[in-house]
Structure 1
Amino acid sequence: MFFSVIIPLYNRPQEIKELLETLTLQTYKQFEVLVIEDGSKLDASDIVNSFKDQLDLHYYVKENAGQGFARNFAFERAKGDYFVIFDSDCLIPANYFEIVNNSLTINWLDAYGGPDAAHESFTPTQKAISYAMTSPFTTGGIRGNKKAIGGQFHPRSFNMGISRAAWQKAGGFKITRLGEDIEYSIRIHSLGFKIGLIPEAKVYHKRRTNLLQFYKQIHFFGRARVNISLFFPETLKAVHFFPAAFTVSILFLIVFNIFHLQIAFIGNIIALFIVLLIFFHAWWKNKSLKIALLSVIAAFIQLTAYGLGFMQDFWKRIVLKKQISA
């Protein structure tokens, strides 16, 4: 099988260098790489072109329109039997395409997703953020489980594959951000295509380098969940309200403590239990006290940022029915 690797790029020249380096090490070589420079001010042309002797590489520059439409631009120019989408902040294990090719040969999927993990080279903060995004106590581990808590598994665009046949029938991304990958996954599934997880096809996803950037990203994800529900209302499940409920509970707990209400004692015990649960699980997973402490902070940021973003756009777009730009 011949794969077309599609990478939207926006002002991240160093990231694309690290990603392309990992692609040169692949044990399965039947793939091309399409890098779409989406109106970047920090040009990566010199870095990308330095890999042309090592990869079947195609570099395009276009006006900024967001990652979804940058991928559509690549779909129309790709030659592969299967399109594979990566975020530019990913590192790809050397056996990734060998795993995917073997898996699709044995168990065909029209679209697939893979999990993400923290690489040993990541900073403690990046490892803590990775924990917060994959922990069963925050996201429920839905990004790397075949059975999602909210229903059908939906591949995410940091590690996502689509067959040419699925693309030809479903078309490309309809929205360029605010949950464009989940909307696309739901649409492909609704057309009768088979979607699933390839558990071994992991990538190392850097995400954000500090907690403030992480907060902004997850706040955006909370807003995106509401945006997806405007296309597919039936996909909005009770589980999607959990971060908002958690955030409201934290706010109430702060008020209870300020006014020394008796109920605050019970709330504090529950909060302490949650903190210790996350701390010891993160310590066990990462074998690092520092990462465990940072993981507690990252987990609370993950839940509250998503909750606040979700509540913000739920109120504006569902209750008040306002049109909000991304």
Structure 2
Amino acid sequence: MFFSIIIPLYNRPQEIDELLHSLTKQTYLQFEVLVIEDGSKNDAKAIVESYRNQLDVHYFFKENEGQGFTRNYGFERAKGDYFIIFDSDCLIPSNYLEEVKNYLYDHHLDAYGGPDAAHESFTPVQKAISYAMTSPFTTGGIRGNKKHIGQFHPRSFNMGVSRTVWEKVGGFILTRLGEDIEYSIRIHESGFKIGLIPNAIVYHKRRTSFSQFYKQLHFFGRARINIYKHFPAELKLVHFFPAVFTIGFIFTIVCNILYWPLGFVCNFFLLLYFMLIFFHSWSVNKSLKVAFLSSISSFIQLTAYGLGFIQDFIKRVVLKQQ
């Protein structure tokens, strides 16, 4: 089984250096790497070329189109039986391809996704953000979880599709705003089998600051409405949770100003909720600092996603704007 690893890249030379270095440690060696620079001003050509003696690596530069169409560019040039997509801010464990190969031999999948985790080298903020995106107490708990709700939709930071899927379904038709979910829904609807490979873990850095994390999650909230416009049945109750939390938080503030007894009750439940997050993160990360930061990152995740969701729900669903 031969893999083609496809990595879209935009102005992140340091990230691709770390990612390629992690790929030199793979125990399974039947793979190539395609790095597609998506119109970057700060390109990584020299860094990628420096790995030619360690990896079967190919560098391409194209005009900026966004990550979805950049992955398609890689699909068109890949030689593998499976195309594996990574985000440039991932680190790949040495046994990743071995785990994927063994799983695919034992359980046929036409497309797959894998979980993400925090690496020991991550900063406390990165570990807290990783917690917020994978915790059972936030909507992140449904990502890469064996007990996912409804159909499993691989996410493009860690996703694989067979050549057969590419030939019959094609690639991404959206370049951003939920392009990976839209793609996996079309793969499902074409009759292909998609599943989670539990041990195909990547270490996903995500964002390095809370301000960047807020912008990303606000975008994710808007992306969910974009998916709804293409596939209305894919909007589930769980996707409303961050919006409900956000509205509840605003209601709590109003109550504290206008009617403090009700505000006191709301404060109690908010405090209880974030205490659960704090102690769960402490047990997972073994760090009081990360546990404290996890409370902040979870709040940001819920409110940023909720505000993005509400914004585009009003604009695109209620007001019917394009």
- Shorter-chain TM-score bucket reads over 0.9
Q: Which residue of 1 aligns with 2:312?
A: 313
- Structure 2 segments unaligned to the other structure (5+ residues): none
Q: Which residue of 1 aligns with 2:111?
A: 111
Contact 2:139/2:242 (CA < 8 Å) preserved in 1?
no
Separation (CA, whole Å) in 1 of partners of 2:252 and 2:85: 42
Q: Which residue of 1 aligns with 2:263?
A: 264
Q: Which residue of 2 aligns with 1:170?
A: 169
Give CA-to-partner distance per residue, 1:301-322, whole Å, 9 cap, x none.
0000000000001111111111
Matches within 5 A, 1:1-326: 1-139=1-139, 141-149=141-149, 151-323=150-322
AA aligned to 2:239 is: H
Contact 1:146/1:153 (CA < 8 Å) preserved in 2?
no
Separation (CA, whole Å) in 2 of partners of 1:124 and 1:314: 34
1:146 deviation in Å?
A: 3.0
Give CA-to-partner distance per residue, 1:155-187, whole Å, 9 cap, x none.
000000000001111100000000000000111
1:132 deviation in Å?
A: 0.2
Contact 1:72/1:172 (CA < 8 Å) preserved in 2?
yes
Separation (CA, whole Å) in 2 of partners of 1:308 and 1:238: 16
TM-score (norm 2): 0.99
Shift in CA distance, 140/206, structure 1 to aligned 2, threshold 3 Å? closer
Give CA-to-partner distance per residue, 1:13-60, whole Å, 9 cap, x none.
000000000001000000000000000010100000000111111100
AA aligned to 2:287 is: S
Give CA-to-partner distance per residue, 1:176-231, whole Å, 9 cap, x none.
00000000011101111000000000000000000000000000000000001111
1:140 deviation in Å?
A: 5.1
Contact 2:9/2:36 (CA < 8 Å) preserved in 1?
yes
Contact 2:139/2:241 (CA < 8 Å) preserved in 1?
no
Separation (CA, whole Å) in 1 of partners of 2:277 and 2:233: 31
Shift in CA distance, 6/140, structure 1 to aligned 2, threshold 3 Å? closer
Separation (CA, whole Å) in 2 of partners of 1:146 and 1:112: 13
Q: Percent identity?
A: 73
Separation (CA, whole Å) in 2 of partners of 1:238 and 1:291: 30
TM-score (norm 1): 0.98
AA aligned to 2:238 is: V
Separation (CA, whole Å) in 1 of partners of 2:132 and 2:80: 34
- Structure 1 segments unaligned to the other structure (5+ residues): none
Give CA-to-partner distance per residue, 1:214-269, whole Å, 9 cap, x none.
00000000000000111111111111111000000000001111124321121111
CA RMSD of aligned residues (A): 0.7
Contact 1:145/1:153 (CA < 8 Å) preserved in 2?
no
SS at 1:305's partner residue?
helix
SS at 1:76's partner residue?
helix
AA aligned to 1:93 is: P
Contact 1:215/1:302 (CA < 8 Å) preserved in 2?
yes
Contact 2:139/2:238 (CA < 8 Å) preserved in 1?
no
Give runs of ≥4 in structure 1 deviating > 6 Å.
Answer: none
Contact 1:114/1:144 (CA < 8 Å) preserved in 2?
yes
